[in-house]
């Protein structure tokens, strides 16, 4: 049953909650699993990447975090430059580098406005765009980080002293 702003009013606007997000993702044959102990979040493994779906007041969040082996102090600037590159173009998601338990995490995410009254088709369309954007941004981060590392190696090679 869809929750509404006022359950006593048959004309009340429907609200978006995690149940509606789970139902909407099921239409794409994606099964979300609720996060234990929380009534506002669920997860799924999409294309081998861990994705979180959460409802926060007026927005829903689709997020993908990929742990790296790099530490903040030993990190190559390539990851940070790659995130800046992703954020400078319209990918449908933003990228940030965060730290968790001493290692860097590549995070891509997108917020969806979830105003009361959003119908099922609108919700599905927004979720599809968010998931596609988040996954594309993760793929782009890998490509951009590899390109930045390649450019860094070439620059270092060009600056090496020449032997005569």
Domain count along the chain: 1
Residue 115 placed within a domain = yes
User: What is the sign of the dihedral through the CA atoms of 17, 23, 25 and 27?
Assistant: negative
Q: Residue 162 corresponds to which tokens in the numbers above?
A: 């020449």
Residue 25 placed within a domain = yes
The domain of 117 spans 18-152
- CATH number, domain at 61? 3.30.1460.70
Sheet containing strand 41-46, strands side by side: 33-34, 41-46, 49-56, 59-67, 103-113, 94-100
Which backbone phi and psi does 44 adopt, to 5 degrees? -155, 155
Residue 143 placed within a domain = yes
Residue 110 placed within a domain = yes
Residue 12 placed within a domain = no
Residue 157 placed within a domain = no
Residue 3 placed within a domain = no
Q: Residue 62 corresponds to which tokens in the numbers above?
A: 């689709």
Task: Please name the residues in contact with 152: beta carbons below 8 A apart, sequence gap of 6 or more.
Answer: 76, 77, 78
Residue 5 placed within a domain = no
Tens of each residue's pLDDT in the chain, 164 residues:
678 777 888 877 888 999 999 999 999 999 999 999 999 999 999 999 999 999 998 899 999 999 988 777 766 677 888 899 889 987 789 999 998 888 889 999 999 999 888 999 999 999 999 999 999 999 998 888 777 767 655 655 565 555 55
pTM of the model: 0.84
């Amino acid at each position: 049953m869809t929750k509404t702003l006022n359950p006593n009013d048959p004309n009340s606007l429907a609200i978006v909650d995690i149940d509606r997000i789970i139902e909407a993702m099921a239409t794409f044959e994606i099964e979300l699993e609720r996060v234990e102990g929380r009534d506002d979040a669920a997860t799924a493994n999409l294309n081998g990447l861990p994705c979180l779906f959460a409802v926060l007041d007026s927005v829903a969040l689709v997020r993908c975090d990929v742990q790296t082996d790099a530490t903040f102090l030993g990190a190559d600037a390539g990851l940070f430059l790659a995130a800046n590159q992703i954020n400078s173009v319209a990918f449908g998601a933003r990228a940030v580098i965060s730290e968790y338990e001493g290692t860097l995490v590549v995070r891509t995410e997108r917020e969806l406005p979830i105003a009361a009254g959003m119908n099922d088709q609108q919700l599905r369309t927004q979720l599809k765009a968010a998931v596609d954007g988040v996954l594309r941004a993760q793929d782009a981060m890998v490509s951009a980080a590899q390109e930045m590392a390649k450019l860094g190696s070439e620059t270092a090679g060009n600056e090496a002293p020449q032997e005569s």
